Amino acid sequence: MKFKWSYIQLPFLLVLVAFLYGFSEQRNNARKINGVHVEFMMGENLYVTEEAVNKLLIQNEVASAEIGKEILDLNRVEKLLNQHDMIENAEVFLSLNGKLQTKISQRKPIGRSVGETSFYLDRNGEVMPLSTHYSARVPLLEGMSSENVREAFPLVTYIHNDEFLTRNITGIRRLPGAKFELELREMDFKIYLGKAENLDLKFNNFKAFYKKAMNDEKLETYKKVNLQFGDQVVCTKK
């Protein structure tokens, strides 16, 4: 019986490939983490810095050069970063050269509460602490607490998404009955909004009034503009 090398050639090659793959995988897993790279989405690192992220990872023994790739729990790292007060979302992965890559989206404040307690209201309607690194230029929220600030969230969001209102409105005051009064950047009259409802109608009426009064050079003659009736603008002169 002749020995046929072709019969065992393919199985031998398969075993060899499997051995080399396993050996390579074992060596790769045994490698240590080769540093940390922090990337801020949209290029913004206003409220949390790269140094703060690295410090957080080091304190929790994540960024240590002694940690092997095989024991690094990427889900734990993401959870750790997402628990930071200034981080909205974090994605973590390892690069081919063993560097820990982190992509971070920061929380975005759209209003700042002032008074007995100071905090931001972020774009998701959640309370956000103030930052020691940066102060956001957003409308000031008066008469609000962490318990009732969500009542103002639809109003603050509407203003944040409107260029004209963002440019002109600097303050939002909560009045009894969950009603609101607005302050303008350049004009000294107040806007009485009432409840935060029918905002499209109320603000469209206000824009029409503002444009006409500005053309007539009468903006300085008013001390109060009432929008609570929705279908009309009621003005009180000085």
**Per-residue pLDDT at 12 exceeds 70:** no
Question: Which residues make up the CATH 3.40.50.11690 domain(s) of the chain?
Answer: 109-237
CATH of domain 109-237: 3.40.50.11690
pLDDT in tens, 139-177: 999 999 999 999 999 999 999 999 999 999 999 999 999
| Per-residue CA distances from 87 to 28, 40, 49, 149 (Å) | 31, 10, 11, 20
Q: How many residues are present in the chain? A: 238
State the pTM of this model.
Answer: 0.79
Cα-Cα-Cα-Cα torsion 22, 23, 25, 30, nearest 10 degrees, comes to 140
Separation CA 49–CA 70 (nearest Å):
28
| Per-residue CA distances from 27 to 7, 14, 124, 237 (Å) | 32, 20, 44, 80
Please spell the DSSP secondary structure of 177-199, one letter per residue.
Answer: TTEEEEEESS---EEEEEES-SH
Where would I find the H helices in the chain?
5-30, 50-59, 74-82, 153-160, 163-168, 199-215
Question: Which residues make up the CATH 3.10.20 domain(s) of the chain?
Answer: 36-106
pLDDT in tens, 15-57: 544 444 443 444 444 445 667 788 888 767 788 888 888 888 8
3-state SS assignment for residue 100: strand
Q: Average model confidence (pLDDT) for the chain? A: 83
Reply yes or no on domain 36-106 having CATH 3.30.450: no
Look at residue 230 in the predicted model and tell me its pLDDT.
Answer: 72
